[in-house]
Amino acid sequence: MFPRPASGRRLVTAAALLSLLGTLSTSAWAGPRDRDPAPHARAAVTRVASAAGSTTPLDGYAIQSTAKVTDSAAEVSSPGYPAAGWYPAGPRSTVLAALLADGRYPDPFHSTDQQKIPKADFEVPWWYRSDFTVADTSRRTLLDFSGVVSAADVYVNGRQAAKAADVTGAYTRHELDITTLVKSGTNTVAFRVQPNDPNKNLTMGWIDWLQPPPDRNMGIVRDVLVRRGGPVALRDAHVVTKLAVPSLATADLTVKAQARNDSGAPVTAEITGSVAGTNFTASVPLAAHETKTVTLSPADVPGLHLTSPKVWWPAGMGGQPLYDLDLTASVSGTVSDTAHESFGIRDVQAPLNSDGARQYRINGRPLLIKGGGWSPDEFLRWDPGYVADRLKYALDLGLNTIRLEGHIEPDEFFDLADRYGVLTLPGWECCDKWEGQVNGDGESGDKWTAADYPVAKASMAAEAARLRDHPSVISFLIGSDFAPDATIEKNYLDALKAADWPTPVVSAASDKSSPQLGRSGMKMTGPYDWVPPDYWYAKREGGATGFNSETSAGPDIPTLDTLRRMMTPAELDTLWKNPEAKQYHRSPSPVFGTLKIYDNALTGRYGAPTGLADYVRKAQLAQYENVRAQYEAYGRNATDADKPATGVVYWMFNSGWTSLHWQLADRFLDQGGAYFGAKKANEPLHIQYSYDNRSVVVVNNRHADAGGLTARATLFNPDGTQKYDKAVTGVTVNGDGAHGTALTLPSSVSGLSAAYLLRLTLTDADGKEVSRNVYWLSTKPDTLDWAKTDWYYTPTTAYADLKGLSSMAQVPVSATASTESSGDLSTTTVTVRTTGAGRTPSLFTDVHLVDAQGRPVLPVRWSDNEVGLWPGESVTLTATYRTADLHGSAPHVRVSGWNTPEQTVPAS
């Protein structure tokens, strides 16, 4: 994740919902159920299809600790075994996820309840057992799977099909021919899953993101498929695309697949297929047990040369069309196997610029990567609806990229990213076995043994084959904090080349080099803890230059609603009173165990909190200004001639549990200052203030130029007294992320108080406001001690004085709201208007959609939020959400602000 100091696509069936029980959607986590498991907790029997080319995922398992099973592996893996006292588990489930779904432990996301789960229970292997029926044994039957954490012995109908020494690694893919082991009727497959240790196994770990799960995610977290087929199998089907850039006028497709003869006799396979409206056929003679790669290019099939192809673009740059490849292998006129793949046509380049920074280009157009670091659920529970909600949040924030450091999600994640136009940067993780061979002194992760090299290469091969056709995937990072050595790099690159990997491969997420790839073109210079907003404008360390692969100002305190759901009253009392206190919901890391740096800054800049609500109020204000500044600085510098910014990944986009740091939206999908600060900064057409040189800049993230604009900057004291006002007309800004300076604020303004407000507005040629941005600033700057910069932050020796904001008079506002529903969605429209007689503005006015009991309705998409309103002004905001998330309640809106009394009004 960052440097340390030296010391299968499928529909979710009803049975699959077992794995989703206990998974957060938009409601509270279910509490523990005080009951014993059913005496026979076997998963539902999976009916395996007979058709050639069919793939049937196992519906689920019964699981039990080997410490409680005295029967032999042959007995456990035989049909009819009673599985008395075993627990049900979904088709993709860690051990602990299954136990949580069964109500065996209290909510691990609340307080310190996770500490009550005994780790010793997961230091022995666990059995996973599932039954499936086969009606026709004349076809070949194969077991196809990956996602075993950390390793497993595999048994079918009482006989061992594979050993744990061969089925090891979370990402390796395995295909076991079990034709001779299956019988007509009920069959049993059993996995004896070994405990996981991320420092010893090439699997998954949590570094310092959250308190690690007690079972360390041991289990089976991807589908296990039962494949049926004839003598010839089709594998590795994919399409290599070559798009003409920059014209985008043509594209060449090359279809590839492996035809494998699984029989002991020679055969001729007839391969038929279709792609992009073109049909083709090929005759492939195969000797016994021979495998051939079938390749069809435009030279073979002219229809594979496309004119006016449908080009895939990231969201906001164009559409997201996908093509389909369908293949069938037949022998003597009988279908033997089929294959299907979806893919997109796009071109990705990422050369190093003259400063050595990686600059991505999509379909010939340069793109500033504006991203966030992704976290799956802590217990690796897969909930497609929840994942879709989070990806939609990324789009709402104006982000274009999600980075996955390890924890590479199932196929459906990338299907969603393809469909929504969200770019992804997957790669291996740091700080455990994955980088154990190259880690610096004092790092976690064992050195590699001879057995680890083939596992790592097989992992790379499997993920490359799985991800290569997804147009959303624009790179693979084969290193994180450290780049691989020559041997490891060669193994990775050989696997990627064999898979026809189509996009740039990056040596590391840090500024490291590997022998073949050279420099990464990325930096990992922090910060990871609090720094002031003006930090981001310095073209050094983590500031807005180059490609920063992971960075933020650390803590992101959730809303008061969320805090009350995740912590006890005593813990909440400590949260605002004691900066030195160790915070369980921050990190197990001694570096990030407390909120001291953050809390000191909050007090130093805004004044000591007077209570929990005041602490959270100040935290939201601070997080808004800091996250906004991070994205604004990178946005402003993206087209600079000198040391431009090319990419920034907020660390992190989300958290896998209830957290106090590294999240733009919290676990429950509630939105606070960090969320709306990012949303404001990444507006398509945006006016912003520069902390370094006081310039007022317009950034145009649209493709087309923007002209006829008027930029206005007005300064106010906290009491609303206007001290400066200037408007500039005729502002024109080029597109594709260009910026233009409209004006520069004077270095001093007479009568300006220590804390003051800046209101920026941008109007179009018709006088319509297209961007508004409100800042709270100080005549006393934050002072950074750059000489004492550490790997995780730069100290601040003097704070900006924003305490005067606390003296702002209370400003009443009126709010009216109404709701319209269409299909599954509802839209609530809220108009907020200042009603006081004074001149003080309502700062940071927040509107929350709530139900009749005052609980947030989530997820929700607001047109804007946390706005500043001056006397006589009003704003109309819209909130779009699923009607079902009201749970039958009438909608209400809760309005509050920095200096606005809270009120709740009906919105029906």
**Catalytic machinery residues:** 481, 550
Burial of residue 308, with CB atoms counted within 10 A of its CB: 0-12 exposed, 13-18 middle, 19 or more buried: exposed
Do residues 381 and 22 make contact, with C-beta atoms less than 8 angstroms apart? yes
> What CA–CA distance (Å, rounded) separates 168 from 483?
23
Do residues 143 and 154 make contact, with C-beta atoms less than 8 angstroms apart? yes
Do residues 738 and 700 make contact, with C-beta atoms less than 8 angstroms apart? yes
Using DSSP's 3-state secondary structure scheme, residue 310 falls into coil
Burial of residue 454, with CB atoms counted within 10 A of its CB: 0-12 exposed, 13-18 middle, 19 or more buried: middle
Using DSSP's 3-state secondary structure scheme, residue 829 falls into strand
Do residues 533 and 691 make contact, with C-beta atoms less than 8 angstroms apart? yes
Give exposure, 504-537, as e/b (b: 16+ Cβ within 10 Å). Answer: bbbbbbbbbebeebebbbbbbbbbbbbbbbbbbb
Give exposure, 627-645, as e/b (b: 16+ Cβ within 10 Å). Answer: bbbbbbbbbbbbbeeebbb
> What CA–CA distance (Å, rounded) separates 63 from 128?
5
Using DSSP's 3-state secondary structure scheme, residue 905 falls into strand
The stretches of 637-713 forming alpha helices (DSSP H) are 673-681
> What CA–CA distance (Å, rounded) separates 597 from 827?
40
**Structure tokens, 361:** 């280009």
The alpha carbons of the chain give a radius of gyration, in whole angstroms, of 29
Q: For residue 824, count other CB atoms closer than 10 A to its CB.
A: 10
> What CA–CA distance (Å, rounded) separates 300 from 261?
23
Q: What is the 8-class DSSP label of residue 352?
A: B
Element (H, E) at 100: helix 95-101
Give which of 103, 102, 131 is closest to 42, Cα–Cα. Answer: 131
Burial of residue 351, with CB atoms counted within 10 A of its CB: 0-12 exposed, 13-18 middle, 19 or more buried: exposed
| 351: region left, alpha or beta (phi > 0 left; psi from -120 to 50 alpha) | beta
Cα 578 to chain centroid distance, Å, stands at 32
Do residues 287 and 281 make contact, with C-beta atoms less than 8 angstroms apart? no
Give which of 312, 522, 309 is closest to 417, Cα–Cα. Answer: 312
Do residues 671 and 392 make contact, with C-beta atoms less than 8 angstroms apart? no
Q: How open is the CA angle 367-761-765, to the nearest 5 degrees?
A: 85
User: Going by C-beta distance under 8 Å and a sequence separation of 6 or more, which residues neighbour residue 610?
Assistant: none
Give which of 632, 419, 626, 434 is closest to 544, Cα–Cα. Answer: 632
Q: How open is the CA angle 548-549-552, to the nearest 5 degrees?
A: 75
User: Going by C-beta distance under 8 Å and a sequence separation of 6 or more, which residues neighbour residue 339?
Assistant: 53, 234, 235, 237, 257, 325, 326, 327
> What CA–CA distance (Å, rounded) separates 566 from 558?
10
Nearest-10 crossing angle of helices 384-396, 411-420: 30
Residue type, 767: G
